[in-house]
Chains A and B, each alone.
Chain A
Amino acid sequence: MTDTFVVSEETLWDALHDVPDPELPHISLIDLGVILRVELDTQAAFARVLLMPTFLGCPALEMMRDMIRERLEQFDITVQVDVTDEQIWTSDRISEEGRRKLEEAGIAPPAPNNQNNTIMLLEPAPCPHCGSRKTSLESAFGPTLCRAIAHCRDCKQPFEQFKPL
């Protein structure tokens, strides 16, 4: 029996660009940086995807698992998605393209991650509507766990901000 199996790891990574973040559909799971690794066994037609959780209470995690599996099973392979703690996800993993897409959607991308968790000085995010830096954080909690609500004192508009984590 000859092995005619042709899917490559690169193809799988490409395909994951089609899988949106269920709570932020403007960006893909690749943009979000939650895929740690794709391990492909061509002999066994099996792929294992290592997924990093973002906020620990995020209900989108299970949906992400299902969506990854469904997308990659289109290549006629068996897919297993494992949530990993091998490396901790941080908002610094969001790609440049992801940051641009967030901004286009009116959500301020996260400021660089403040590694000192005891300091509560969160840098004011530039307003995604007018670019002003005269903004303030209104509430640390927004429509999803990863978003906060800010207000722009120049254009007087509220906006959402991806929380640095």
Chain B
Amino acid sequence: MNTAVEPVTNLTPVQKQALCELLLALADDEFVMGYANSEWTGIAPILEEDIAFSSLAQDEIGHSRVFYEMLATLEEQSADSIAYGREPSGFRNAQLVERGRGDWAYSVTRQFFYDTADFVRIESLQKSTYQPLAKAAAGIIREEKYHLLHANTWLQRLAEGNAEAQQRQHTAFDALWPDALGLFEPTSGATELLATGILPEPFEALQNRWITRIEEPLRRLSLPFPFIDASERWDTHITPIYGGRRGEHTQSFLDLYSVFTSVYQLDPEADW
């Protein structure tokens, strides 16, 4: 019998540390993406999208809360102090989610990359041997189908739009590929998590599945697809931007950070 499929209950200190790194990556991606998306509230090109991006933000911050609360239980501190009380270098989000919103094409293309990646990893985490994580993933995945629907609608809308829409979409693709691959940067201690099945699959496998998922819509819409099938895996000339999972962040993260921590820094006990 394969012991890796048994639910994990007692964590060694090393496993716990690795699990916290994974949960932080999941939580911080959703949290920072949520804040970045809320930047469209009030100024999106059409009312429906104002509502859509605000709802995406609400969903994502809601999902981040689930992961922060899991961390709060493991680390015996409050979810708020984990979310708002860390230094910028303590954040484990990929750099993709911290970039400024750019133009509309940039934001919806990023959303397409991110939502598909998030779907792939949450789908996989339903099989985690760490029960709280598996349960959370099973709840979250059901909401993600609406994100995918939204992202795919805009991918198609721009691809079938006028010359300016297509040109902006292509510019966005060029800018986003290295960051998108950066979403699959392994978290610290990932090997440890794989051995116990807390992480059911390596990040590389998730990346390959992500590429397989985006292939269909990209080919159908004659959009760029810079990957070559190298049997069992995809090859590419694109160099991923790593660092986010180690706490390396850009100036745009610091800008966002100073906004989303402003209330907490005024009063850590503030309640709303």
Chain A residues engaging chain B, CB cutoff 8 angstroms: 53, 55-59, 85, 88, 90, 117-118, 120, 122, 138-143, 145, 148-149, 163, 165
Instruction: Determine whether the beta carbon of A139 is less than 8 Å from that of B145.
Output: no
17 contacts between A and B (CB under 8 A): A56-B62, A56-B139, A56-B143, A57-B59, A58-B62, A85-B139, A88-B138, A117-B142, A117-B145, A118-B123, A120-B148, A139-B150, A140-B52, A141-B48, A141-B54, A141-B150, A149-B48
Partner of B63, one of A56, A90, A139, A141: A56
Tell me, rounded to whole Å, the shortest Cβ–Cβ distance linking B3 to chain A: 25
* Inter-chain contact A142/B60, CB cutoff 8 Å: no
Assembled-state Cα–Cα distance A57/B62 (Å): 4
Interface size range on B against A: 20 to 34
Q: Is A163 within 8 A of B144, CB to CB?
A: no
Chain B positions within 8 Å of A90 at CB level: 142
Q: Which residues of A contact B140 (CB under 8 A)?
A: 56
CB–CB A145/B48 < 8 A: no
Given A57-B61, A148-B146; 15 other pairs, CB 8 A cutoff = A55-B62, A55-B143, A56-B66, A56-B140, A59-B58, A85-B139, A88-B139, A117-B142, A118-B145, A140-B146, A140-B149, A141-B54, A142-B51, A142-B55, A145-B55
Instruction: Quote the shortest CB–CB distance from B62 to chain A (angstroms).
Output: 2
Quick one: given A57-B62, A120-B152, are A141 and B52 in contact (CB under 8 Å)? Answer: yes
Q: Is the C-beta of B141 less than 8 angstroms from some C-beta in chain A? A: yes
A52's nearest neighbour on chain B, judged by CB, is: B139
A57, A138, A149 interface centre (most CB from chain B within 10 Å): A57
Name the CB-closest residue of A to B58. Answer: A57
- Residue-by-residue, is B143-160 near A (CB-CB < 8 Å gives 1, otherwise 0)? 111101110100000000
Q: Which chain A residues lie closer than 8 Å to B56 at the CB level?
A: 141
Interface membership of B135, Cβ < 8 A:
yes
Q: Are B51 and A141 in contact (CB under 8 A)?
A: yes
Flag if A138 contacts B48 (CB, 8 Å): yes
Name the 10 nearest CB pairs between A and B, nearest first.
A57-B62, A141-B55, A141-B52, A56-B62, A57-B58, A140-B146, A139-B48, A57-B59, A117-B145, A140-B149
